[in-house]
């Protein structure tokens, strides 16, 4: 039973048992004294002494537990969390001795150890940075070359999910749905037409085949060249675009998606293999059942990295004046949203942007309440799995610590530029940085799959409601 308790809970149980043992000893001694004296008139005095002694023992043990908890148990928990953070992430500084100042040399030794780990990591990162700079230079050159060619390119894995696209493809296909890594190609091209074209390519025995494909919405017809990339490698589509078309964003790719094993149950999917949309909203107030959204910011994260150019930054017309006290916080004015889309249109864009992804937010129930309330007008339900950085912070640092975005960022040594705080996109970026730093910390604790994380988050549901009630964890 004690194995399931944390250090602080074990300490409380220890002092509770100690108090109980002391009370039993006093009670036993008084009962023995009463039996030997055999003086019935003295029993009320014994009872009074016993009660006073019991309350005194409880008070003393409670006081000693509070002192021990504040000077030993909580500092140990904080020290362990700080060490986990530095062992699992790229945090390089030593541990602040104020975190556990009552632990003496233990804190100093932990700080020295983590500082040396940070120095070693810095040396390794310097070598990695040189190679990364070369790869980025090559990527930029590839982007310039593809942008100069009036053709759109899509690479698709054997599971029919997009693993690479260029800016031309994004410009041509974004009108249907936001084009993103990991999206199903059938969201953009009619499935029947495309599957027939792939069968024709296989039957032709060649590596390329020219076909006409209808878009998924049936509105356009493209002359497409299909390219067979080999067994298990998927295929590529290329099609001409008007010369005046401006690439919507750079070349985006993730070839590792072809090597991942598909899982039918999200509970079994490793955290690193999931696609995330990290988002935030700014509103007219703090009442989701009455107030309205004025701004949505969102980012897509694939393979634990920000997908280049996959950013949503929308102003939303709330259909009512924005209170001055709200504008003072997020800076959004009535003039800024006058020509902005309403929640129905903005919500549809966000729904398209976030489809097939796990949603991540800080205090997600607040933001999701607006989308759920407007779901009938949007014409879509938001059934995505959800992760909340408040609950993840509770998993990593304990439920009694502070879990505001600023407190978590400070704990993880993440700088939050004040000029973008309390804007939807700025807070989404801050949440992204916090979340990506949390992933290796969670993995270091043996929490590697979505199901593992969901089980742990539900242990802290007193902090926030469970938004994944339709999902069932195993075991």
Is 300 domain-assigned?
yes
Q: Is residue 209 part of a domain?
A: yes
Residues 181 and 251 in one domain: yes
Looking at residue 298, what is its pLDDT? 97
Same domain, 325 and 418: yes
Domain that holds residue 104: 2-116
- Is pLDDT of 13 > 70? yes
Q: pTM for the full model?
A: 0.76
Distance CA 36, CA 157 (A): 88
Query: Are 165 and 239 found together in one domain?
Result: yes
Contact status, residue 460 vs residue 395, Cβ threshold 8 Å: yes
Q: HSE on the CB side for 309, CA within 13 Å?
A: 21
Query: Cβ atoms within 10 A of the Cβ of 336, count?
Result: 15
Q: How many domains does the chain have?
A: 3
Q: Tell me phi and psi for residue 115, to 5 degrees.
A: -65, -40
Q: Tokens 């919405």 appear where?
A: 217
Residue 474 has pLDDT above 60, yes or no: no
Domain termination site, one of 67, 91, 116: 116
475: in domain: no
The answer to whether residues 381 and 278 belong to one domain is: yes
Q: Where are the alpha helices (DSSP H) in 157-243?
A: 167-173, 191-204
In a domain, 415, yes or no: yes
Res 92: pLDDT: 61
pLDDT tens-digit map of 265-316? 899 999 999 999 999 999 999 999 999 999 999 999 998 888 878 999 999 9
CATH classification at residue 397: 3.30.420.10
287-298 b/e with 16+ CB inside 10 Å = b? ebeebbbbbbbb
One domain for residues 55 and 201? no
Cβ contact 213:202 at 8 Å: no
Please give the full DSSP string across 38-81, using - where no structure is assigned: --GGGHHHHHHHHHHHHHHHHHHHHHHHHHHIIIIIHHHHHHHH
Q: Is 272 in the same domain as 196?
A: no
- Both 219 and 288 in a single domain? no
User: How confident is residue 2, by pLDDT bands cut at 50, 70 and 90?
Assistant: low
* Gyration radius of the chain's alpha carbons: 29
Judge if 301 and 406 occupy the same domain: yes
On whether residue 474 sits in a domain, the answer given is no
User: Which two structure tokens, joined as six digits, stand for 314?
Assistant: 């929308």
CATH code of the domain containing 172: 3.30.450.20
Based on the domain organization, do 296 and 248 belong to the same domain?
no
Of 72, 93, 116, the position where a domain reaches its end is: 116
Q: What is the per-residue pLDDT across 111-133, written as a single tens digit (0 to 9) for each?
A: 766 776 666 666 666 777 777 67
End-to-end Cα distance, the chain: 18
């Amino acid at each position: 039973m004690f194995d399931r308790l944390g250090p602080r809970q074990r300490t409380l149980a220890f002092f509770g048992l100690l108090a109980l043992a002391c009370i039993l000893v006093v009670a036993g001694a008084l009962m023995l004294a009463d039996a030997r004296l055999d003086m019935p008139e003295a029993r009320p005095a014994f009872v009074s002494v016993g009660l006073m002694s019991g309350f005194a023992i409880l008070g003393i043990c409670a006081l000693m537990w509070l002192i021990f908890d504040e000077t030993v148990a909580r500092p140990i928990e904080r020290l362990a969390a700080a060490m986990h953070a530095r062992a699992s992430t790229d945090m390089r500084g030593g541990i602040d001795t104020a975190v556990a100042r009552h632990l003496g040399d233990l804190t100093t030794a932990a700080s020295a150890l983590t500082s040396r780990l940070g120095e070693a990591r810095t040396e390794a990162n310097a070598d990695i940075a040189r190679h990364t700079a070369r790869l980025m230079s090559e990527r930029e050159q590839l982007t310039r070359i593809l942008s100069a060619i009036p053709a759109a390119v899509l690479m698709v894995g054997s599971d029919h999910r997009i693993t690479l696209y260029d800016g031309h493809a994004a410009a041509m296909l974004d009108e249907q749905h936001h084009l993103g890594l990991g999206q199903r190609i059938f969201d953009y091209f009619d499935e029947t037409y495309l599957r027939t074209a792939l069968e024709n390519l296989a039957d032709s025995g060649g590596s390329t085949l020219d076909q006409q494909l209808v878009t998924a919405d049936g509105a356009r017809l493209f002359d497409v060249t299909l390219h067979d990339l080999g067994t298990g490698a998927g295929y590529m589509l290329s099609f001409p675009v008007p010369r005046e078309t401006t690439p919507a964003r750079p070349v985006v790719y993730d070839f590792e998606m072809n090597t991942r094993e598909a899982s039918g149950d999200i509970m079994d999917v490793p955290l690193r293999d999931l696609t995330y949309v990290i988002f935030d909203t700014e509103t007219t107030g703090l009442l989701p059942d009455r107030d309205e959204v004025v701004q949505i910011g969102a980012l897509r994260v694939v393979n634990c990295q920000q997908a280049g150019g996959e950013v949503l930054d929308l102003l939303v017309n709330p259909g009512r004046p924005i209170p001055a006290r709200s504008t003072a916080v997020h800076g959004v004015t009535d003039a800024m949203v006058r020509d902005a889309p309403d929640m129905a249109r903005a919500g549809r864009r966000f729904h398209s942007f976030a489809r097939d992804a796990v949603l991540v937010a800080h205090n997600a129930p607040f933001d999701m309440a607006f989308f759920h309330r407007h779901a009938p007008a949007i014409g879509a339900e938001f059934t995505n799995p959800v992760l909340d950085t408040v609950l993840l912070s509770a998993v990593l640092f304990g439920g009694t610590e502070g879990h505001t975005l600023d407190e978590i960022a400070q704990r993880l040594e993440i700088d939050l530029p004040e000029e973008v705080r309390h804007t939807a996109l700025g807070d989404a970026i801050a949440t992204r940085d916090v979340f990506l730093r949390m992933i290796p910390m969670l993995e270091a604790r043996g929490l590697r799959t979505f199901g593992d994380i969901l089980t742990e988050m539900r242990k802290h549901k007193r902090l926030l409601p469970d938004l994944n009630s339709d999902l069932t964890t195993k075991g």
